[in-house]
Structure 1
Amino acid sequence: MRRAEATTGRGDQPWWWDAVYYRVDVGAFADGDGDGIGDLDGLRTRLGYLELLGVDAVVLAGAVDPASEQFAALLAEAHEAGMRVMAALDVDPAREDPRSVLHPWLDHGADGFHLAPRDDPTGVVAAALAGHPDRVVIGSDSGVWHLAFNLDLAVAGFDAEPVRRAITGVLAAPGPQPAWAMASRDTEPSRDEAALTPVRAMALVQLALPGAVCLRHGEELGLPGTRRIWMPWEGFQPPFGFSPVVGDWPAIPAEWAAFTVEVQLEDESSTLSLYRQALETRSTHPAFTGDDVEWFGAPEQCLAFRRVGSSLTCALNTSSVPVPLPPGEVVLSSRPLESGQLPPAPPRGWCEPCLVAVTSC
Structure 2
Amino acid sequence: MQAADARGHGDRPWWWDAVCYQVDVGAFADGDGDGVGDLEGLRGRFGYLELLGVDAILLAGTAGLDPAAADFAELLAEAHDAEMRVMVALDVDPARADPRAVLEPWLAHGVDGFHLAPREDPAGAIRSVLAGYPDRVVIGAGDWHLSFNLDLTIAGFAAESLRKVITGALGGPGPRTAWAMATRDSRRSRDDAALTPVRAMALVQLALPGAVCLRHGEELGLPGTERIPMPWEGDLPPFGFSRAAGDWSAIPAEWAAFTVESQLEDEQSTLSLYRHALETRSSHPAFTGDEVEWFGAPEDCFAFRRVGSSLICALNTSPAPVPLPPGELLLSSRPVDGDDLPPGTAAWLV
Q: Give the TM-score normalised by the residue count of structure 1.
A: 0.91
In the alignment, the residues of structure 1 paired with residue 298 and residue 106 of structure 2 have an alpha-carbon distance, to the nearest angstrom, of 50
Q: Secondary structure at the match of 1:248?
A: coil
| Structural RMSD (CA) | 1.3
Q: Give 1:38's aligned residue.
A: 37
Q: Is the 8 A contact 2:121 2:127 kept in 1?
A: no
Q: Partner letter of residue 359 of structure 1?
A: L
Q: Secondary structure at the match of 2:29?
A: coil
Question: Offset at 1:123?
Answer: 3.1
Q: Is the 8 A contact 1:187 1:195 kept in 2?
A: no
Q: Partner letter of residue 90 of structure 2?
A: L
In the alignment, the residues of structure 1 paired with residue 335 and residue 218 of structure 2 have an alpha-carbon distance, to the nearest angstrom, of 22
Indicate whether 1:263 and 2:271 are aligned.
no
Q: Is the 8 A contact 2:94 2:122 kept in 1?
A: no
Q: Secondary structure at the match of 2:315?
A: strand
In the alignment, the residues of structure 2 paired with residue 124 and residue 156 of structure 1 have an alpha-carbon distance, to the nearest angstrom, of 34
In the alignment, the residues of structure 2 paired with residue 122 and residue 263 of structure 1 have an alpha-carbon distance, to the nearest angstrom, of 51
Question: Offset at 1:117?
Answer: 4.0
In the alignment, the residues of structure 1 paired with residue 207 and residue 34 of structure 2 have an alpha-carbon distance, to the nearest angstrom, of 40
Q: Give 1:54's aligned residue.
A: 53
Indicate whether 1:359 and 2:349 are aligned.
yes
Q: Secondary structure at the match of 1:281?
A: helix
In the alignment, the residues of structure 1 paired with residue 124 and residue 45 of structure 2 have an alpha-carbon distance, to the nearest angstrom, of 36
Deviations 1:24-49 (A, max 9, x none): 11000000000001000110000110
Deviations 1:185-224 (A, max 9, x none): 4153445221100100001000000000000010000001
The 1:117–1:318 alpha-carbon spacing in structure 2 relative to 1, beyond 3 Å, is: farther
Q: Within 5 Å, give how 1:67-82 maps onto structure 2.
A: 67-82=68-83
Q: Partner letter of residue 176 of structure 2?
A: Q
The 1:96–1:191 alpha-carbon spacing in structure 2 relative to 1, beyond 3 Å, is: closer
Q: Is the 8 A contact 2:304 2:313 kept in 1?
A: yes
Q: Give 1:6's aligned residue.
A: none
In the alignment, the residues of structure 1 paired with residue 48 and residue 124 of structure 2 have an alpha-carbon distance, to the nearest angstrom, of 36
Deviations 1:51-93 (A, max 9, x none): 1101111011112221111101100100000001110011112
Q: Give 2:89's aligned residue.
A: 88
The 1:314–1:45 alpha-carbon spacing in structure 2 relative to 1, beyond 3 Å, is: same
Q: Secondary structure at the match of 2:101?
A: helix
In the alignment, the residues of structure 2 paired with residue 226 and residue 191 of structure 1 have an alpha-carbon distance, to the nearest angstrom, of 13
Which segment drifts farther, 298-307 or 186-195? 186-195
In the alignment, the residues of structure 1 paired with residue 230 and residue 124 of structure 2 have an alpha-carbon distance, to the nearest angstrom, of 36
Q: Give 2:215's aligned residue.
A: 216
The 1:122–1:313 alpha-carbon spacing in structure 2 relative to 1, beyond 3 Å, is: farther
Q: Secondary structure at the match of 1:42?
A: helix
Which segment drifts farther, 265-274 or 181-190? 181-190
In the alignment, the residues of structure 2 paired with residue 306 and residue 295 of structure 1 have an alpha-carbon distance, to the nearest angstrom, of 7
Deviations 1:273-301 (A, max 9, x none): 00000000000001000000001100000
Q: Give 2:115's aligned residue.
A: 114
Q: Is the 8 A contact 2:152 2:162 kept in 1?
A: yes
Indicate whether 1:163 and 2:153 are aligned.
no
Number of residue-to-residue matches in the alignment: 339
Q: Give 2:104's aligned residue.
A: 103
The 1:122–1:209 alpha-carbon spacing in structure 2 relative to 1, beyond 3 Å, is: farther
Q: Is the 8 A contact 1:181 1:213 kept in 2?
A: yes
Gaps of 5+ in 2: 1-9
Q: Secondary structure at the match of 1:166?
A: helix
Question: Offset at 1:253?
Answer: 1.1
In the alignment, the residues of structure 1 paired with residue 122 and residue 97 of structure 2 have an alpha-carbon distance, to the nearest angstrom, of 15
In the alignment, the residues of structure 1 paired with residue 122 and residue 277 of structure 2 have an alpha-carbon distance, to the nearest angstrom, of 36
Q: Partner letter of residue 278 of structure 1?
A: A
Q: Is the 8 A contact 2:94 2:125 kept in 1?
A: yes
Which segment drifts farther, 186-195 or 84-93? 186-195
Q: Is the 8 A contact 1:67 1:108 kept in 2?
A: yes
The 1:117–1:264 alpha-carbon spacing in structure 2 relative to 1, beyond 3 Å, is: farther
Indicate whether 1:336 and 2:335 are aligned.
yes
In the alignment, the residues of structure 2 paired with residue 333 and residue 263 of structure 1 have an alpha-carbon distance, to the nearest angstrom, of 21
Q: Give 2:235's aligned residue.
A: 236
In the alignment, the residues of structure 1 paired with residue 184 and residue 198 of structure 2 have an alpha-carbon distance, to the nearest angstrom, of 7
The 1:247–1:203 alpha-carbon spacing in structure 2 relative to 1, beyond 3 Å, is: same
Q: Secondary structure at the match of 1:278?
A: helix
Identical-pair percentage: 76
The 1:327–1:122 alpha-carbon spacing in structure 2 relative to 1, beyond 3 Å, is: farther
The 1:220–1:130 alpha-carbon spacing in structure 2 relative to 1, beyond 3 Å, is: same
Deviations 1:132-158 (A, max 9, x none): 1111111212x3x21111101110000
Deviations 1:220-271 (A, max 9, x none): 0000111123100001101111100123212211111100001010211000
Question: Offset at 1:121?
Answer: 6.1
Q: Partner letter of residue 74 of structure 1?
A: L
The 1:106–1:22 alpha-carbon spacing in structure 2 relative to 1, beyond 3 Å, is: same
In the alignment, the residues of structure 1 paired with residue 322 and residue 329 of structure 2 have an alpha-carbon distance, to the nearest angstrom, of 14
The 1:359–1:303 alpha-carbon spacing in structure 2 relative to 1, beyond 3 Å, is: same
Q: Is the 8 A contact 2:304 2:314 kept in 1?
A: yes
Q: Give the TM-score normalised by the residue count of structure 2.
A: 0.94
Q: Secondary structure at the match of 1:263?
A: helix
